[in-house]
Structure 1
Amino acid sequence: MSDERVGSGLEQDTVDMCRDLIRIDTSNYGDDSGPGERKAAEYVATVLSEAGLDPIVHESAPGRTNVIAHWGPAEGDALLVHGHLDVVPAEAADWQVDPFSGEIRDGYVWGRGAIDMKDFDAMLLAVVRERQRAGRPPGRRTVLCFTADEEAGGVRGAQPLIEDLREHFDGATEAVGEVGGFSTTVRGRRMYLIEAAEKGMAWIRLTARGTAGHGSMINRDNAVTRLAGAVARIGAHEWPVQLTPTMQTLLAAVAELAGTEATPENAEALVDEFGPAARMIGATLRHVTNPTMLGAGYKVNVIPTEATAHVDGRFLPGFEDEFFATLAELCGEGIDLGFVTNQRSWEATYDGTAISDAITRSLLAEDPDAIVAPYLMSAGTDAKHFGKLGIRTYGFAPLRLPDDLDFTGLFHGVDERVPVDALQFGARVFDRFLDLV
């Protein structure tokens, strides 16, 4: 455990466990070449077992390990609480500290996974331990799930879990997980953003074919030329602002603070009110298509038969058909469009639900003057997989953050870190949430 005292009971456990988990390297390189999640999963299973639960360890491939456990009553509809154990790689030379040290410096816990998402894993484990010690199991049947491979789409984690252990999710109607519940500051007011929707993720492979030939000769059927035109059109395309219900709700809350009304025309100006967080939130106003990879040829004087490109496409829920139709038009003739992966978008009802009330009340009990609002996530989480089971999912890993912290810039970034007091705040909030949900 840790060598520094930062609190007592629940708060100390949360910080200790976050540091312990960071020290277990679970780097995910997008294949099976990394260390895997096995050691972290064993740590989680040990904590749960010592707390009196009966965890199931599930390995989808050697070292790619998930943990699932049941907590609370045996009957009734269930709440799924999920967090992933893998992290993106870190280049140690770029960091101020060893990215797998879990060092405490300047009031922060530093290390890969500090916010994505070993912080929430630690909160959850600490809350389970504290409540079990006190004889306070949750009043609602709860499924705890710690997954592998979220950082590579969940093909070794949530996907095989819902296929191989489907029965463990029976009766689960709602879920909470990552990338929500963190605070940002708008016009001097702290606002907690709850993920209630995610853009879809289409990793697209474009293929152009043409006539091979000598590079010195005229060739009007050049695959590289055809592909380059498609890539340029896609990369330069200006997608229009389109507001989903979730973003309409969020921007209405910002507009009220700004003394105006939210419209598609002023949406970007309202998003700018979020400061550094606008980088992530701004990507939820429209579709995004970024060309990321190109490949063609094997010799400079040989015109190849085939050229390929890859595009990272993120599409808004409710506008999928329009997105793919426009993409096909931008590609033009002679371009085959295929998918490396094509994952659904989703949007859940938030306002007026029992879970939104529980989230809001648990946050405001710790931060009474704050605002709580839903938002649309620009990237993807394991919620995409659990949503296939009809589970309504929300991002709620609560953190009260300093006004000047560029929190969204720390995701997958250098010097990832989380404030110690934010971890402690999150554990208190989540403990209360379980009494309310």
Structure 2
Amino acid sequence: MTPPLQPEPTAAPPATSSDEPAVALLCSELIRHDSSVRGPFERGVAERVAAELSSMSLRPVLLEPEPRRSNVVARIEGTDPTLPALLVHIHLDVVPADPSAWTVPPHSGELRDGYVWGRGAVDMKNMAAMTLEALRCLLAGGWRPRRDVVLAFVADEELGGGLGARWLVEHHRDLLEGCTEAIGEAGGFSYEYAPGRRAYLVQSGEKGIGWLRLVARGSGGHGSMLHTDNPVIRLSEALQRLERHDFGVLTCETTSDLVAAAKTWHGAPDGESALHATGPLAKLLVPVLRNTYNATELHAGLQHNVVPPVAEALVDGRFVPGHEAEFYSEIEELLGDLVAVEPVFSNAAVETAFTGAVPDAIVAALAAEDPHGVTVPTCLPIGTDAKHFATLGMKCFGFVPLQLPSDFDFPTMFHGADERVPVSALCFGQRVLERFFRAC
């Protein structure tokens, strides 16, 4: 545990109306603490979260595996020590933002047009604000949970969790003692499939991560000569082949539930058509039907007149739960004659049956706030810290409850410019979380 840290100065808040909801104001303030994973890191926002928890008479512990890479953990003791504990995990880091691409400064937390704007508004300081405000209201009213609730506000999720969730699992497992179920990002958001009728897509599965390096090799040499084994050309051919190839539809149990619901909503003949019919949300849902491979970086060349002996590409691969073996074998079979396929990093897929105390509490809390809504367990293509906590045997669910406007392009908010969250969605989420904590 680090020694007590001095609070850091915070940017002056933007002008806001005094009647803004407390959850929106807190979300705005958390955004103003720039916690970019490339620096200045999480300490400032972690201290702010720790102060909130202390104000509720909780005893937060602040831990740093490296300077300024801050994690905050607190436990709310339940009334029945025989019950297993619940983990609520929320990452405090955010990806960098280029101010030139934004309508507002990305760390301003500006409240405008009914939204809170800024990096982290959706990913995922919204959940931090909703959770803190929900617990503040509950605890102020004398509530105590039946089971222990462990709160983990963690660092480094955007770069794999090595200084956050994974580090806690490996070095501070005692703080997670007794936890058998967990909620975290990124499901729980609404999709309006008919006027006034919403489905809430709760994450109970997520694709695995397989980052790969494609390496082409040749003799190299002077750029004025003929080269039949130019690595740049071989790599380019491999990437084109990868882009054009159809690896086919794959399903897991959670995807089947989602597809069945979507086919009913849209009268579509097949799963892929059904998910495409969800409009902007299709960007997030269609990838769950396949193992995917996206080239993200290229590395080749020494100077203009030199054919390099090596050319490399990095590929962000994601595999459907239960289909990891095919993920590696099919790309090797497709590209092995052109390039070497080298694993760089991997994380297992996660899939959890949507049964038990936490799913029951999720369904009940959402139904109480939206009686006509339905809850649909969903597999999402992104990776979360659930991968680390699942190694301890926890059943993990993505549950960040947000009731969104029907025309809101939610998927583009993740890591995108002008990230923002509706104030009304924050208020809805706080109410749902209050009901959820009471129920579970």
TM-score when normalising by structure 2: 0.92
Q: What's the CA shift for 1:220? A: 3.3
Structure 1 position 122 matched with structure 2 position 129? yes
Does the aligned pair in 1 maintain the 2:16–2:111 contact within 8 Å? Answer: no
Distance of 1:419 and 1:307 partners within structure 2 = 45
Structure 1 position 66 matched with structure 2 position 71? yes
Structure 1 position 348 matched with structure 2 position 352? yes
Which of residues 50, 58, 71 in structure 2 aligns to 1:53? Answer: 58
Structure 1 position 415 matched with structure 2 position 418? yes
Distance of 1:50 and 1:316 partners within structure 2 = 43
Q: What's the CA shift for 1:259? A: 4.9
Number of residue pairs matched by the alignment? 424
- State the Cα deviation string for residues 29-49 of structure 1 (Å, max 9, x = none): 3xxxx1010011111111111
Amino acid at match of 1:125: L
Structure 1 position 14 matched with structure 2 position 11? no
Q: What's the CA shift for 1:147? A: 0.6
Which of residues 194, 212, 234 in structure 1 aligns to 2:202? Answer: 194
Q: What's the CA shift for 1:5? A: 3.4
- State the Cα deviation string for residues 32-81 of structure 1 (Å, max 9, x = none): xx101001111111111111111110101111100111112255311100
Matches within 5 A, 1:17-416: 17-29=26-38, 34-73=39-78, 74-188=81-195, 189-259=197-267, 266-333=270-337, 335-350=339-354, 352-416=355-419
Gaps of 5+ in 1: none
Q: What's the CA shift for 1:119? A: 0.5
Amino acid at match of 1:191: A
Distance of 1:5 and 1:102 partners within structure 2 = 15
Distance of 2:409 and 2:310 partners within structure 1 = 43
Q: Secondary structure at the match of 1:423?
A: helix
Q: Which moved more, 1:293-302 or 1:382-391?
A: 293-302
Distance of 1:224 and 1:199 partners within structure 2 = 31
**Aligned residues: percent identity?**
46
Distance of 1:16 and 1:96 partners within structure 2 = 20
Question: RMSD over aligned Cα, in angstroms?
Answer: 1.7
Distance of 1:309 and 1:272 partners within structure 2 = 29
Distance of 1:52 and 1:423 partners within structure 2 = 24
Does the aligned pair in 2 maintain the 1:209–1:334 contact within 8 Å? Answer: no
Amino acid at match of 1:256: T
Q: Secondary structure at the match of 2:278?
A: helix
Q: Secondary structure at the match of 2:340?
A: strand
Does the aligned pair in 2 maintain the 1:52–1:132 contact within 8 Å? Answer: no
State the partner residue of 1:431: 434
Distance of 1:371 and 1:133 partners within structure 2 = 31
Amino acid at match of 1:254: A
- State the Cα deviation string for residues 318-377 of structure 1 (Å, max 9, x = none): 011011100111221363322332111111101x43321211110010000011101111
Quick one: structure 1 residues 334 and 422, their matched pair in 2 at CA, closer, same or farther if it must change by over 3 Å?
closer
Does the aligned pair in 2 maintain the 1:187–1:273 contact within 8 Å? Answer: no
Distance of 2:306 and 2:252 partners within structure 1 = 48
4+ runs of 1 displaced by more than 6 Å? Answer: none
Q: What's the CA shift for 1:126? A: 1.1
Q: What's the CA shift for 1:3? A: 4.5
Structure 1 position 5 matched with structure 2 position 18? yes
